[in-house]
Amino acid sequence: MQSQNLHQLVADQNSFFNTNSSKEIGFRIKQLKLLKSILKANEEAMNAAIYADFKKSKFDTFTNELALLYLDIDEAISKVRKWSKRKRVRTNMINFPAKSFIYPEPLGTCLVIGAWNYPIQLSFAPVIAAIAAGNTVVLKPSEVPSATSEIIAKMINDNFDASFFHVVEGGVEVTTNLLELKWDKIFFTGSVNVGKIVYKAAAQNLTPVTLELGGKSPAFITKSCNLDVAVKRLVWGKFLNAGQTCIAPDYVMVDASIKDEFLEKLKQRIIEMDFAFKNENYVQIINDKNYQRLKEMIDEEKLYYQGDFDESNRYFPPVIMHDVTFEDDVMQEEIFGPILPVITYDNISEAISAVKKLPKPLACYVFTGQRSVKHRIIDELSFGGGAVNDAIMHIVNSNLPFGGVGNSGIGNYHGKAGFDTFSHQKSVLDKATWLDPSIKYPPYSLKKLKIIRWIMGV
């Protein structure tokens, strides 16, 4: 889309927003229902597109992409009335007689920029929150899975009025043009580097941003954990979507006393699950560039186990590296693929301080049977969110706000948190007129000061 047309699109959305139609609860619910019906009607087309892009199976497309969206839409429909109600709060003595309220109000015209790894879910989850909160939306899905981007644009642009919700396809150039426009909110999912570009562009107009970024998320395997369960859940979480998951366990910190047993069980589990890393059960690496980037991360000297490579189909097998240190190449950037480096520690204090030296991760997983260890890791490490004795699954609970901290992001969403992310909390003091104490008006005196201090209790 030409930059001139983008200007017009935003102007049209601003005009529509100013009619107040998108604020009506009935309108919001109707649009959410429409979105759900469009998604349902286009499931086959989405399956085909996402399979063409990186061979994601129907099962994965439903469970990792669509199921979460259907749950989000249903929750928003059933709770939007409650979420958007003004909330009465206490009024302090100094303002007597008055009532105080918080009105959640939509921000206006919002830009949502998606990432490629879960291209449907990461595009629509923020959109659902934006619509529920009463905004208008322009969505720019990732251009990398091109067939998926195309079907997203077709589904939406054929069924929604562009002045309310529109999809703009494109890569860096289009996104750059979009970022030059004035938005009321920008919601970005993607890498730390592009997150900085988005933040800088938003600053020009003081536009509020949510940045859902990535990073290196650790998994602690402690000596008190149920190792069999830990290994099963870790393997599932790491190799889901071939490791191309923002909250995948990036690397393992394992207690030295169980290192050998852990590595052996890990290898056995991967061998046992071999069928899951082949053909229609597995996901391709998104493109050749990433395939090569991942291959270069493998240090042959530290290789513990690797499955079979199928480069022509861009299938990258699970790879385990051991005796890894924080200085190794594989520890210098987010892996975003099925390579699992294992670092050994002698005591938990040492492990925590080593992880603390890295930027704050998006997720952290603690496998342990010991309460004190669990609490130490949760209390002492800063991370976006995570799980105890599991991986990934915290994302599925919409009562848990999802987002990063520090380098892994700004802000959060899902469920009510998503609604709040796309709302402004407007505070209003509603004062009665039957009493207007003269104390706040001049002339001031020591007596008045005394009364003020008495009211305040200082």
Q: Which residues bind ligand NAD (CB under 6 A)?
A: 113-117, 122, 140, 142-143, 171-172, 175-176, 189-191, 194, 197, 212-214, 246, 334, 336, 362, 404, 409
Nearer to ligand NAD, 115 or 381 (CB): 115
Map residue 282 onto helix, strand or coil. coil
Residue nearest to ligand NAD (CB): 214
Sheet holding 98-106: strands in order across? 87-89, 98-106, 423-431
CB of 170 to ligand NAD, least distance (A): 7
What single string gives the DSSP state of each residue in 72-105? HHHHHHHHHHHHHS-EEE---GGG-SEEEEEEEE
* Helix/strand/coil for 388: strand
Per-residue tokens: 214: 């990535």
Give the DSSP letter of residue 191: -
- Are the beta carbons of 335 and 245 closer than 8 angstroms? no
Which residue among the candidates 110, 246, 334, 364 is catalytic per the annotation? 246
The helix/strand/coil state of 350 is helix
149-169 as b/e: b if 16+ CB within 10 A:
bbbbbebbeeebebbbbbbbb
- 29 or 211, CB closer to ligand NAD? 211
Q: What H or E segment, with its residue span, contains residue 110?
A: strand 109-113
Residue (28 or 56) nearer to ligand NAD, CB: 56
- Cβ 149 vs Cβ 141: under 8 Å: yes
Task: Give the three-class secondary structure for 445.
Answer: coil
**Smallest Cα–Cα separation from 272: which of 216, 322, 332, 228?**
228
Q: How far apart are CA 190 and CA 215, in angstroms?
A: 10
Residue 213 Cβ, how far from ligand NAD at the closest point, in Å?
5
Closest CB to ligand NAD among residues 222, 241: 241
Question: In the structure encoding, which two tokens stand for residue 227, read together?
Answer: 């190792």
Which of 212, 225, 334, 364 is catalytic? The answer is 212
Nearer CB in complex with ligand NAD: 152/253: 152
Measured between alpha carbons, how far is residue 289 from residues 35, 161, 175, 293, 294 in Å?
A: 34, 37, 21, 6, 9
Minimum gap (Å) between residue 142 Cβ and ligand NAD: 4
Annotation says 212 is catalytic: yes
Q: Kindly tell me which of 214 and 237 has the beta carbon lying closer to ligand NAD.
A: 214
**H or E stretch at 354:** helix 348-356
Q: Which is nearer to ligand NAD, 41 or 172 (CB)?
A: 172
Rank residues 246 and 351 by Cβ distance to ligand NAD and give the closer one: 246
First to last CA, the chain: 62
Q: CA-to-CA distance for 182 and 352, rounded, in angstroms?
A: 42
Q: How far is the CB of 120 from ligand NAD (least distance, A)?
A: 12
Taking the complex as a whole, the smallest distance from the CB of residue 109 to ligand NAD amounts, in Å, to 18
**110 tagged catalytic:** no
Q: Please answer whether residues 345 and 351 qualify as being in contact, where contact means their C-beta atoms are separated by less than 8 angstroms.
A: yes
Q: Are β-strands 218-221 and 251-255 bridged in parallel, bridged antiparallel, or unpaired? A: parallel
Looking at the Cβ atoms of 43 and 173, the one nearer to ligand NAD is 173
Cβ of residue 234: shortest distance to ligand NAD, in angstroms? 18
Give the three-state DSSP class for 160: coil
DSSP string of 426-439? Answer: EEEEEE-SS---GG
Please state the closest distance from residue 363 (CB atom) to ligand NAD, in A.
9
Minimum distance from residue 199 beta carbon to ligand NAD (Å): 11
Strand 98-106 to 423-431 pairing = antiparallel
CB of 145 to ligand NAD, least distance (A): 9
Catalytic residues: 212, 246
